[in-house]
Amino acid sequence: MIKSISIIEGDGIGPEVIKQTIKVLNSIAKKYGHKFHYKNLLAGSKAIEKFGDPMPEETINHCLKADAVLFGCIGDPKYDHNPKGMRPEDGLLKLRKKMNLYCNIRPISIFPKLDKSPIKKELLNNVDFIIYRELTGGVYFGEKGRYKNGDKAYDHCIYSKKEIEKIGEKAFKAALFRKKKVTLVDKANVLETSRLWREVIKKISLDYPSIDLDFLYIDNASMQIIMNPKKFDIILTDNMFGDILSEESSVLTSSLGLLPSASIGDDKSMFEPIHGSYPQAEGKNIANPLGCILSGSMMLEYFGMYREKNLLEEAVKDSIEKEICTPDIIDSKLSSTTEEVGDYIKKYIIHQ
Q: What backbone torsions phi and psi does residue 182 show, to the nearest 5 degrees?
A: -120, 130
Is the pLDDT at 85 greater than 90, yes or no?
A: no
- Residue 263 resides in a domain: no
Residues 6+ apart with CB under 8 A from 294: 258, 259, 260, 273, 312, 313, 316
CA atoms of 84 and 143, how far apart (whole Å): 11
- Residue 270 resides in a domain: no
Is the pLDDT at 84 greater than 90, yes or no?
A: no
Domain limit, last residue, from 253, 288, 305: 253
- Which pLDDT value is given to residue 265? 96
Same-domain status, 288 and 316: yes
CA nearest to 130, candidates 330, 352, 279, 294: 294
Same-domain status, 121 and 237: yes
User: For 13-48, what is each residue's pLDDT tens digit?
Assistant: 999 999 999 999 999 999 999 999 999 999 999 999
Tell me what the mean pLDDT of segment 133-145 comes to: 94
Tell me what the mean pLDDT of segment 122-136 comes to: 95
Residue range(s) defining the domain that contains residue 200 = 117-253
**pLDDT band (50, 70, 90) for residue 118:** very high
Q: What backbone torsions phi and psi does residue 215 show, to the nearest 5 degrees?
A: -130, 140
- Which pLDDT value is given to residue 42? 97
User: For 182-197, what is each residue's pLDDT tens digit?
Assistant: 999 999 999 999 999 9
Same-domain status, 241 and 310: no
Same-domain status, 63 and 122: no
Residues 6+ apart with CB under 8 A from 124: 110, 117, 229, 252
CA atoms of 253 and 311, how far apart (whole Å): 21
- Which pLDDT value is given to residue 126? 92
Determine the length of the chain.
352
Domain limit, last residue, from 212, 238, 253: 253
- Residue 109 resides in a domain: no
Domain limit, last residue, from 238, 253, 268: 253
Alpha helices of the chain — where are they, by DSSP H?
14-32, 45-51, 57-65, 88-98, 121-124, 161-175, 192-205, 218-227, 239-253, 290-302, 306-321, 338-351
The amino acid sitting at 22 is I
Residues 6+ apart with CB under 8 A from 85: 54, 94
User: For 174-231, what is each residue's pLDDT tens digit?
Assistant: 999 999 999 999 999 999 999 999 999 999 999 999 999 999 999 999 999 999 999 9
Same-domain status, 242 and 135: yes
User: For 51-82, what is each residue's pLDDT tens digit?
Assistant: 999 999 999 999 999 999 999 999 999 998 89
- Per the prediction, the chain carries an average pLDDT of 96
- What is the dihedral sign for C-alpha 322, 328, 333, 338? positive
Same-domain status, 92 and 210: no
CA atoms of 321 and 313, how far apart (whole Å): 12
- Which pLDDT value is given to residue 169? 98
User: For 225-259, what is each residue's pLDDT tens digit?
Assistant: 999 999 999 999 999 999 999 999 999 999 999 99
The amino acid sitting at 98 is K
- Residue 259 resides in a domain: no
- Residue 111 resides in a domain: no
Q: What three-state secondary structure class fits 5?
A: strand
CA atoms of 283 and 15, how far apart (whole Å): 9
- Residue 347 resides in a domain: yes
- Residue 95 resides in a domain: yes
Q: How many domains does the chain have?
A: 2
Same-domain status, 198 and 299: no
Q: How far is CA 200 from CA 41, 184, 187, 193, 339, in A?
A: 38, 11, 15, 11, 47
Contact call for residues 161 and 126 (beta carbons, < 8 A): no
User: For 141-150, what is each residue's pLDDT tens digit?
Assistant: 999 999 988 8
- Which pLDDT value is given to residue 332? 85
CA atoms of 8 and 19, how far apart (whole Å): 11
- Which pLDDT value is given to residue 148? 83
Domain CATH for 218: 3.40.718.10
- Residue 13 resides in a domain: yes
Same-domain status, 132 and 27: no
Same-domain status, 180 and 215: yes
The angle at the Cα of 49, spanning 46 to 53, to the nearest 5 degrees, equals 85
Same-domain status, 90 and 161: no
CA nearest to 238, candidates 279, 270, 192, 278: 192
Same-domain status, 249 and 286: no
Same-domain status, 127 and 225: yes
Burial readout 75-100 (b: 16 or more C-beta within 10 A, e: otherwise)? bbeebeebeeeebbbbbbbbbbbbbb
Contact call for residues 320 and 257 (beta carbons, < 8 A): no
Task: Categorise residue 70: left if φ over 0, alpha if ψ from -120 to 50, beta otherwise.
Answer: beta
